């Protein structure tokens, strides 16, 4: 398989801030500043629509809302039915387009437990101006003052992945209202089953590829760099899972009678897992890095310019030493990963506490390639 | 700590079989052969008493039955109350005793699920003359023919550890009836909490040591050698348990954002466990074997004479290669063990399937020392 490489680059906010007052960026920004509340109100309406993909009615309402939002921007949207949620595709053609750019988003959210939401229920978006214990919240309906960019919106999918959709539409509005013509045809593909692993996306792309493809694909989904700066990734790793089961004796054996003699699959699995990475976090599985394209000098330089967030993250996450102490986080992002996300043997440590040689031991890995 | 070594020796049945018809062994055997049914009826009455240690009333009935059985043999029993089940101790003194021998048994049983008993309920002992699918069972009440030594008694604790108690009492009866005087004072200690880890035994031994101790202690509890021959172990290993938990980040982290970089405790624990034994099953923990007394040439020779049951056991248990391919099972019994009986990380493999770096990973070990 060919690896796709991920390169995290953070654009400098100051580069935009230095623009002259009548250049295109400044004209779009001026429009945005005048319409912030209107943009947020549109976002809040969208966030109010529950979007757990297992509820077909809710998902249909989201797809309809997206259709309307895109029609307002003359995107000619189309809802493609799938076995799961509809995929919304749309295009806005530019008069003298030099190319076609496709933007990917998803409108479904992770399952949600309302009991875990301390300010408002998950589908009642609210602005948190001050965090707890002070805990000051703001509703937009009565707010007419300046909007503070340090406020945070709490609402299901406000980060993953609904706000990016509204931000994209606002950018289109900004260009339109600043009379800046598009120089590319712009296509969008909005998926409703991303959190379930995109089971229908491949079929939709195969069957409607001619209306989705472009000269570039921008996936507007993923974490912002911890420095808080706007973040652009050059590529995305795919995920693959594997469950490994090691079998020992046909049934659990008494460890007093047969320990030291019968092979223990829990130990064998531990040895297998332990052998997969060296002490510097390098995967030792044969061929694992064979199709890795090394970073160019330019790419390395770009990474060096990203603020180093490792010390802050390590403090937040409570550990003092990363797996690999030589490479920074963003360099590690540019390698495939092998991660143990679960394992078990003998019914788990909290189980019956039986002194057995377990009959089997299993581990689940995820690999980002 | 001082290790106590276990040496499995199998006495040769033929050595007894060759005895002359009027020697003591033959006289005891003749008595036994005439009283087999009576011995089994006594055993069945004892097996009918439920003996799960958490049911205090049942346990008390077992202790009372033991008291009666010992009184019948003039053992002067005493029930010592504990926080758990009573410990029954007793002694029968011999006129010209050269020494005192103490026999240990336990009368409690493992918790039992009646639904798993296919022939009869667990406390309705029955003889299985032919196994399923034929499945011929015999009740003693109407049986008057010869008893087949290949029959098996199904009843809770019939092997662990009630039959050995009745066998011991029958041996005393046999000596008595064959007019063979005891040459040792015989003491017994019968425990009722063995399956719960003997929480009260130490206190009883400390407080009543003078009435329990002897020149030798014979623990009549443990597996018979798989060859089916009478088995004598010279020593017993103790057990100790340990739970090891490796902590990683303060909370589960997204393996896509932080995999390859944040330390994974599941991998660290796998490496730790893997490092504890080499490929030949030798424990590599420093000092683990320091207080092991090597076997003498005589002990090694005794082990060599035990029938090698490894091929049969491996076929029964379904594996082709023991942990250590040089030493036979009985030699491995003479070394301390380190066994992983359970581990878990990330909620187990059957869980939510989250692609995380788990916050912690735990393993439970048992060590026989």
| Domain end residue (candidates: A211, A233, A255) | A233
What does the pLDDT look like over A312-363, one tens digit per residue?
999 999 999 999 999 999 999 999 999 999 999 999 998 767 889 999 999 9
Within an 8 Å CB–CB cutoff, is residue B284 touching chain A?
no
For residue A35, give the CATH number of its domain: 3.40.630.10
Same domain as A244, residue A203: no
What does the pLDDT look like over A140-172, one tens digit per residue?
887 888 889 889 999 999 999 999 999 999 999
pLDDT at B236: 80
Q: Tell me if B2 is assigned to some domain.
A: no
Please report the ipTM that was assigned to this predicted complex: 0.80
Partner residue facing A267 (CB), from B259, B340, B347: B340
For residue A321, give the CATH number of its domain: 3.30.70.360
Q: Is A70:A188 a contact under the CB 8 Å cutoff?
A: yes
What does the pLDDT look like over B222-255, one tens digit per residue?
888 888 888 888 778 888 999 999 999 999 999 9
Within an 8 Å CB–CB cutoff, is residue B311 touching chain A?
no
Q: What percent of chain A has pLDDT over 70?
A: 94
Q: Is A171:A184 a contact under the CB 8 Å cutoff?
A: no
Same domain as A285, residue A336: yes
A189, pLDDT greater than 80: yes
Taking CB atoms and an 8 Å cutoff, what residues of chain A touch B344? 343-345, 348-350
Minimal-distance CA residue of chain A relative to B243: A349
CA distance A160 to chain B (A): 14
Same domain as B311, residue B227: no
Same domain as A82, residue A50: yes
pLDDT at B6: 38
pLDDT at B19: 54
Same domain as B246, residue B169: no
What does the pLDDT look like over A190-207, one tens digit per residue?
999 998 889 999 999 999
What does the pLDDT look like over A31-52, one tens digit per residue?
999 999 999 999 999 999 999 9
Q: Tell me if B3 is assigned to some domain.
A: no
Record: contact A346-B341, CB cut-off 8 A:
yes
Q: Tell me if A1 is assigned to some domain.
A: no
Q: Tell me if A2 is assigned to some domain.
A: no
Same domain as A201, residue A274: no
| Domain end residue (candidates: B233, B264, B285) | B233
Question: In A, residues 169-228, which contact B (CB 8 Å cutoff)?
Answer: 223
Same domain as A266, residue A225: no
Q: Is B126:B240 a contact under the CB 8 Å cutoff?
A: no
Record: contact A260-B333, CB cut-off 8 A:
yes
Partner residue facing A267 (CB), from B273, B332, B333: B273
Same domain as A270, residue A199: no
Q: How many CB pairs under 8 A join A and B?
A: 232
Same domain as A267, residue A217: no
Record: contact B261-A344, CB cut-off 8 A:
no
Strands B152-154 and B8-10: unpaired
What is the Cα–Cα distance from B357 to B252, expressed in whole angstroms?
6
Taking CB atoms and an 8 Å cutoff, what residues of chain B touch A256? 237, 239, 337, 368
pLDDT at B13: 36
Question: In B, residues 239-278, which contact A (CB 8 Å cutoff)?
Answer: 239, 241, 243, 248-251, 253, 255-264, 266-267, 269-271, 273-277
What does the pLDDT look like over A270-286, one tens digit per residue?
999 999 999 999 999 99
Same domain as B108, residue B40: yes
Instruction: Average the pLDDT over B72-98 and give the result.
Output: 96
pLDDT at B229: 87
**Residue B307, domain extent:** 239-368
Q: Which residues pair with A8 in a beta bridge?
A: A233
Partner residue facing B343 (CB), from A321, A332, A344: A344
pLDDT at B20: 66
Total domains in chain B come to 2
Q: Which residues pair with B357 in a beta bridge?
A: B253
What is the Cα–Cα distance from B221 to B162, expressed in whole angstroms?
9
Question: B244 exposed, middle or buried (CB, 10 Å; 0-12, 13-18, 19+)?
Answer: middle
Those residues whose C-beta lies under 8 Å from the C-beta of residue B274, and which sit 6 or more positions away, are: A267, A270, A271, A273, A274, A275
């Amino acid at each position: 398989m060919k690896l796709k490489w991920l390169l995290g680059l953070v654009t400098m906010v100051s580069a935009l801030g230095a623009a002259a007052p009548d250049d295109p960026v400044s004209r779009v920004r001026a429009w945005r500043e005048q319409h912030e509340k209107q943009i947020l109100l549109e976002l809040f309406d969208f966030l109010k629509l529950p979007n757990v993909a297992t509820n077909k009615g809710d998902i249909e309402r989201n797809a309809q809302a997206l259709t309307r939002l895109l029609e307002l921007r003359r995107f000619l949207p189309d809802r493609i039915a799938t076995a799961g949620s509809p995929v919304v595709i749309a295009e806005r053609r530019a008069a003298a387009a030099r190319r076609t750019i496709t933007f990917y988003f998803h409108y479904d959210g992770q399952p949600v437990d309302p009991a875990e939401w301390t300010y408002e229920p998950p589908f009642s978006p609210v602005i948190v101006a001050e965090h707890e214990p002070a805990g000051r919240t703001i509703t937009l309906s009565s707010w007419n003052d300046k909007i503070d960019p340090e406020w945070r919106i709490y609402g299901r999918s406000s980060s993953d992945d609904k706000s990016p959709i509204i931000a994209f539409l606002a950018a289109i509005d900004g260009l339109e209202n600043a009379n800046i013509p598009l120089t590319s045809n712009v296509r969008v593909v909005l998926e409703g089953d991303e959190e379930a692993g995109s089971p229908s996306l491949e079929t939709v792309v195969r069957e409607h590829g001619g209306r989705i493809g472009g000269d570039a694909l921008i996936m507007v989904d993923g974490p912002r760099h911890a420095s808080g700066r706007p973040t652009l990734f050059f590529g995305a790793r795919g995920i693959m899972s594997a469950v490994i089961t090691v079998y020992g004796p046909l049934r659990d054996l008494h460890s007093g009678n047969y320990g030291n003699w019968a092979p223990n699959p829990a130990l064998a699995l531990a040895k297998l897992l332990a052998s997969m990475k060296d002490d510097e976090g390098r995967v030792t599985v044969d061929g694992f890095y064979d199709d890795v394209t090394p970073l160019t000098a330019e790419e390395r330089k770009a990474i060096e310019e990203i603020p180093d967030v490792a010390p802050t993250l390590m403090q937040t996450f409570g550990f003092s030493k990363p797996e690999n102490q030589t490479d920074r986080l963003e360099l590690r992002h540019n390698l495939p990963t092998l991660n143990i996300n679960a394992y078990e043997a003998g019914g788990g440590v909290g189980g019956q506490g039986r002194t057995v040689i377990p009959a089997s031991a299993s581990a689940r890995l995820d690999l980002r390639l």
